[in-house]
């Protein structure tokens, strides 16, 4: 029987012991005393991921401790904290740092997280990385003396390509580019100009990869998911998807379970889907406190199969379960229960669709 591929998005809530220990260190994660806790967190996350039956796993972003967004530049001496603001519907705000001087360089790359997870994993490991378009928001509107925006963008792309290629060379099952700012861009600029700038920037980076490499690269879109809130769920997918689907990747991980009208979104996906692309539809919603049943997930997949060819269909979670480390609105147990439902529901749907 042919299977329907299913993959996670990335983050899992961090263990309480780790959160408390980092807080006791003033939020610093480089204290040597924390190292055993980080190793235990990665090891336990991999083991629990594999226990769900998921054929592809992640490290739960344990080492991207503060958040999925600025892990690669966290701690850079030429940044300051008060950068680009991302407001959520609940009223809280997340911020990117702001670059204060040249040059732009990664402080750490995600391939190191991949390598650690592979030490414990018996199943394929995917790796999420941040998009060049998100990192482009680090450059201040006032500019930087002696460091043009064009040079900055060149350096961002160089660093991104180096990171993605390192992950592929080290055996990542897939590399997922997190693009949560795509939908939010339409909130900042309803004309779509900013979104098109983001798409073009990301495609500049993707152009440096071969077709074979791009077959293992995907992009994740969602309206955000932090403290049971979103930042852009009020933005119509109809304004995002035509541009999103122009990204030169094979895999698209699309938040869907939390949408009010899933069939409408599926109709749009069918319209813009191109050959050799695969849509991983979100079938569980991390910010929904209820744990979906396997049967509910199965039915969502059967619904999606009415619009997307089976050969181009996959399943995923709408978003990471804890993109920011201080988000404890979802427990580790609940996150893994939802993942188990996704895996089992996908298996049940495959029995019907792929027999």
- Residue 1 falls within a domain, yes or no? no
- Number of Cβ atoms within 10 Å of the Cβ of 135: 26
pLDDT at 225: 84
Closest by Cα among 47, 41, 44, 48 to 62: 41
Among residues 151, 50, 140, 130, the alpha carbon closest in space to that of 97 is found at: 140
pLDDT truncated to tens, each residue of the chain (355 aa)? 468 999 999 899 999 999 999 988 988 888 898 999 999 999 999 999 999 999 999 999 999 978 888 999 988 999 998 888 878 888 888 888 999 999 999 999 999 999 999 999 999 999 999 999 999 999 999 999 999 999 999 999 999 999 999 999 999 999 999 999 999 999 999 999 999 999 999 999 999 999 999 999 999 999 888 888 888 889 899 999 999 999 999 999 999 999 999 999 999 999 999 999 999 999 999 999 999 999 999 999 999 999 999 999 999 999 999 988 888 888 999 999 999 999 999 999 999 998 7
Phi and psi for 328 in degrees, rounded to 5? -110, 25
Segment holding 339, helix H or strand E: helix 332-353
Q: Is residue 118 part of a domain?
A: yes
pLDDT of residue 81: 86
> Cα–Cα distance between 334 and 340 in angstroms, integer?
10
pLDDT of residue 2: 62
Domain that holds residue 302: 16-353
Q: How far apart are CA 341 and CA 208, in angstroms?
A: 37
In contact, 184 and 86? CB cutoff 8 Å: yes
CATH number (domain holding residue 49):
3.20.20.210
Residue 6: inside a domain, yes or no?
A: no
Q: Are 185 and 179 in contact (CB under 8 A)?
A: no
Dihedral angle over CA of 124, 277, 194, 110, nearest 10:
10
- Total domains in the chain come to 1
Q: How many CA atoms lie within 13 A of 268 on its CB side?
A: 17
Q: CA separation (Å) from 350 to 291, 295, 297, 305?
A: 21, 12, 12, 10
Q: Is residue 3 part of a domain?
A: no
What's the pLDDT score for residue 75? 86
Tokens of 275: 């050959």
The pTM is what?
0.96
Q: Is residue 295 part of a domain?
A: yes
- Those residues with Cβ within 8 angstroms of residue 341's Cβ, 6 or more apart along the chain or in another chain: 284, 291, 292, 293, 294, 296, 297
> What torsion do the CA atoms of 138, 144, 146, 151 make, to the nearest 10 degrees?
30
* Bond prior to 103 in cis (omega within 30° of 0): yes
- For residue 227, being part of any structural domain is answered with yes
- Enter the DSSP assignment of 232: S
Within a domain: residue 5? no
DSSP string across 62-109: SSS-SBSSSTTTTT-TTEES---EEE-TTS-EEE--EE-SSPP--SS-
How far apart are the C-alpha atoms of 75 and 268, rounded to whole Å? 41
Position 307 in a domain:
yes
Angle at 226 between CA 24 and CA 217, to 5 degrees: 105
What is the 8-class DSSP label of residue 273? -
What residues contact 161, with CB distance under 8 A and at least 6 apart?
Answer: 205, 208, 209
């Amino acid at each position: 029987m042919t299977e329907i591929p299913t993959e996670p998005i990335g983050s899992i809530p961090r263990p309480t012991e780790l959160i408390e220990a980092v807080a006791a260190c003033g939020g610093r994660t480089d204290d040597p005393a924390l190292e055993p806790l980080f190793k235990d967190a990665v090891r336990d996350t991999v083991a629990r991921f594999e226990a769900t039956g998921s054929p592809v796993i992640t490290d739960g972003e344990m080492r991207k401790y503060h958040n999925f967004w600025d892990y690669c530049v966290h701690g850079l001496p030429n940044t300051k904290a008060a950068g680009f603001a991302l407001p959520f519907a609940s009223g809280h705000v997340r911020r990117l740092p702001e670059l204060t001087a040249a040059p732009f360089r990664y402080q750490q790359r995600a391939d190191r997280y991949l390598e650690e997870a592979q030490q414990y994993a018996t199943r394929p490991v995917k790796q999420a990385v941040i998009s060049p378009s998100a990192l482009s928001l680090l450059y201040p509107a006032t500019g930087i003396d002696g460091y043009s925006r064009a040079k900055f963008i060149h350096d961002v792309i160089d660093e991104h390509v180096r990171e993605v290629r390192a992950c592929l060379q080290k055996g990542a099952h897939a590399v997922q580019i997190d693009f949560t700012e795509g939908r939010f861009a339409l909130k900042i600029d309803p004309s779509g100009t900013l979104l098109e700038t983001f798409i073009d920037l990301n495609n500049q980076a993707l152009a440096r990869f071969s077709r074979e490499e791009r077959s293992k690269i995907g992009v994740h879109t969602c309206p955000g998911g932090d403290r049971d809130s979103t930042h852009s769920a009020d933005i119509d997918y109809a304004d995002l998807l035509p541009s999103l689907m122009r990204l030169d990747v094979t895999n698209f991980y699309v938040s869907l379970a939390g949408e009010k009208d899933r069939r409408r979104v599926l109709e749009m996906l069918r319209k813009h889907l191109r050959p050799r692309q695969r849509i991983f539809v979100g079938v569980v919603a991390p910010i929904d406190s209820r744990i979906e049943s396997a049967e509910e997930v199965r039915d969502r997949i059967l619904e999606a199969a009415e619009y997307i060819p089976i050969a181009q269909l996959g399943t995923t979670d709408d978003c990471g379960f804890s993109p920011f480390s201080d988000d404890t609105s979802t427990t580790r147990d609940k996150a893994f229960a939802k993942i188990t439902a996704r895996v089992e529901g996908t298996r049940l749907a495959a029995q019907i669709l792929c027999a």
